[in-house]
A and B are shown apart, each in its own frame.
Chain A
């Protein structure tokens, strides 16, 4: 599969873009590229860069959107450290992200290995698994909150048929977050499967032939050839899944509102709640800054690992 190899093979960004001959190097020509990037840069500046600074700025204030803004220094951050709910939410978030990413990549890998052969039935199965990925999260949330309904939901009925006691999927604070994880994994397995299959197909056939000549076992072949060869795509998938897991909002907002007892509250939902329901703009902003730092670290670690791999090769 070309994906990350492509990034790696790609010229150092901007190292050698082909230049226009400087024959009639007028000011107009020099201005042209700037003109071309202006619309995109304006949107980026106004809707990404500026909001980031604005958020950081707001995090030093006490403000409820209506009152006068009161500068409070780092008090919002100090309160974050003391806030037991926030600690719980950070814990929930990492638990959610960790399990969701691990399970959806793991099951994605399993089903990719299972479905990699290019047959009609496999194409159909891949399609069926992929549908949840193109359907709105609103629908996914509605469907699963109905399936997981405690008394009249289908899941508990099916459990009762095989003689298992009903599970309080969304009502028990010990279980509810796991239920949300199940929903998210269900949604993303299909996508992961497809990406990994295309990575598997990109592994050169001669490597497998060499392995079979060496009489390597299937398991050895997998760990010695397949896994190293597809690991760049796995890395990529992990990063993609990480970022999308950190921003989880819809299922929580629609199904549990963060309850019961804060057990499914995650960072983005808490930011929403503190900002839009309790009007604590400054406090919510300081949480946003924390989330930004977490995302930056994830991204940096990812690129660090990636560049190490390049050297290793």
Chain B
């Protein structure tokens, strides 16, 4: 027995010795960043035969979005691709987080794809770390009409003044209302327009029908819009500090805390969108926030459960305002010139008017180009489903970008904690916000 202990001890000792050894010689190794030429060699398999350049495009999400990505790649390969000798292969990678993680792994493994989708708030992180490249030279050379993209969508494409991606599958949050219930409670079925009305609607629904006026969860995306509606933003302009514990921040938290305390608003803990829908289905709530991309799904739920829904702008405090979301298409760094050209061709084509119309109708995401609104198919959609137009109107006039701080993922978690603490668990607004704001500021400036 004793020698067993001895053995373990000696193991530890060796480990400890190893630590000091490694510690001494630590600064010489460690840089695994490949030079561009290296990764170009090992990169996406290119130029197989007959001068056809083959590139991969990584995308996220299944169902309609997946089908859309596959269909568009096939269309491209059969037309423009065939003409110019390009073959695009779309590859499914899971959620946005999965795509990002996989991109990093592929970068370390020196096998990156030429193109990828990227959740918009992550653009800066990947741009600054040299994984994706500036497409500014291509835009200038081809005179690409970037002004046709909605302003609110473009913000998250630009890092340090240069384009690093183009808007592709993009969305905004909107307010969904069960208009059947609103009418029952004697309210305007179009939904509330302002925060005061939102409060009034919620209280009335609660007192008239005994259900939640508004159901939400600790939803960091909609949370950003609350700040935009107060003429401010969750982070300051240069992203060095948060406005969480500003006057506006405290107002936002107090506003909803009061409604929660009165039973007019129900907030579920955690950044988990799935908790709201049971209330919607059981008509246990009359209003909820969700992405424009969920419109089709919500219409189906309403039809199944026998009620009508309307969509509205997220109500205005001092003004309307929403962040945009979704994914941009980006080009990785270290490609051969032929691959770069091929990748650029596809990016350009994919975000052009016809394709954004196709993608929008197929998936429910917004059309990214202003010119798309004149498209007859889009016009027909708006006629048949007027709820779809709300998102675009909101985007056109009140769309903003999202914060892009490289460590925003951590910051968002803190925001969720703040909402959980105050709205779900009745924490004190001032102390909680001051505490969490200090933490966020440390993350931002570290």
Contacts and interface: CB of A to CB of B under 8 A. Distances in A.
Indicate whether A and B are direct neighbours in the complex (CB within 8 Å): yes
Contacts of A303: 1, 4-5, 8
Contacts of B101: 276
Contact of B33 (A13, A68, A171, A261): A68
B2 interface: yes
Contacts of A71: 26-27, 30
A137 B155 CA distance: 43
Interface stretch (A35-43, A51-59, A159-167, A214-222): A51-59
Contact of A57 (B1, B26, B107): B26
B266 to A, nearest CB: 10
Interface residues of B, number: 45
Contact of B5 (A63, A151, A307): A307
A69 B31 contact: yes
The SS class assigned to the B binding surface is helix
B1 A306 contact: yes
Contact of A65 (B12, B97, B108): B108
B206 interface: no
Nearest to A58: B30
Contacts of B26: 57, 60-61, 71
B30 A56 contact: no
Interface in B1-29: 1-5, 7-9, 12, 15, 18-19, 22-23, 26-27
Interface size on A, as a range, is: 35 or more
B104 interface: yes
A223 interface: no
A53 B23 CA distance: 10
Interface in B95-154: 97, 101, 104, 107-108, 125-126, 129-131
A29 interface: no
Contacts of B107: 65-66
Interface of B: 1-5, 7-9, 12, 15, 18-19, 22-23, 26-27, 30-33, 97, 101, 104, 107-108, 125-126, 129-131, 268-270, 278, 406-407, 409-410, 416-417, 420-421, 424-425, 439
Interface of A: 7-8, 12-13, 15, 52-53, 56-57, 60-61, 63-69, 71, 84, 151-152, 171-173, 256-257, 259-262, 276-279, 296, 299-300, 303-304, 306-307, 310
**Nearest 9 CB-CB pairs, A to B?**
A66-B129, A69-B30, A260-B269, A171-B269, A260-B420, A57-B22, A65-B104, A259-B270, A303-B5
Given A66-B131, A68-B33, A278-B407, 4 more contacts: A12-B1, A53-B15, A65-B107, A306-B1
